[in-house]
Amino acid sequence: MRAAKVKIKIHPTAIIAIAFFIWNKGFAKLLAAVLLHELGHSLAARALGRKNQVLTLTPLGCSLYVGELTGPAAVAVYLAGPVVSLLLLPLLYPQTLWVFAFNILPVMPLDGGRVLAALAGERRCGLAGGLVLLALTELCLLNAAPPVGLTVILYLHSRWLASARFVKIRRAADFLRDLY
């Protein structure tokens, strides 16, 4: 039996964020909540036979890559992180609540967006993500949100655009592959 392998990548600028997380008790709890959330995804992927995984730490969080997933397996893996966040709510409140609320948004590449794409298709997910981002941007601007809130919205918007481009590239590659 082959052992599961999780490769950990740390973005150079994430080192500064991690140092800040460790220095500040509230942010240290947030980092723990995020890592445990990703551990939930990892355990679900491992249970479904995904052995090679890549955990990437960035200044704005972390993500786990387990390969392409489709159907019920995708939904199970994508929902495992938010479920862990909810289970840890009594221990790491309010940090796990923020991690859950953020990740359940139906915006790619967040967990909610991935679940929506697996259930309803990538095109509908893209439309829903755009509407959610528009509503969040308007909410932030009307309520004079702090710069951190606007930064998070801009980050989500850039990730949403990047995931939409990736879908187009993947479709073009599939089309070319089918030609030959």
User: What confidence score (pLDDT) does residue 123 get?
Assistant: 65
Q: What is the CA radius of gyration of the chain?
A: 17
Q: Which of 4-13, 21-30, 31-40, 122-131 has the lowest mean pLDDT?
A: 122-131
Q: Is the pTM of this model over 0.75?
A: no
Work out the average pLDDT over 131-157. 70
Q: Give the residue carrying structure tokens 């909810």.
A: 86
Domain boundaries, the chain: 1-100, 105-180
Q: Are the CB atoms for 110 and 45 separated by under 8 Å?
A: no
Q: Is 2 a residue whose pLDDT tops 60?
A: no
CA separation for the pair 152, 61 (Å, rounded): 11
Q: How far is CA 93 from CA 29, 90, 141, in A?
A: 9, 6, 27
In 3D, which of 113, 116, 83, 117 has the Cα closest to residue 100? 83
Residue 4 C-alpha from the chain's centroid: 21
User: What confidence score (pLDDT) does residue 124 get?
Assistant: 66
> Residue 65 burial by CB count (10 A; 0-12/13-18/19+): exposed, middle or buried?
middle
Please give the structure tokens belonging to residue 59: 């200044």
Q: What percent of the chain has pLDDT over 90?
A: 16
Between residues 58 and 44, the one the model is more confident about: 44
Q: Is 135 a residue whose pLDDT tops 70?
A: yes
CA separation for the pair 141, 8 (Å, rounded): 37
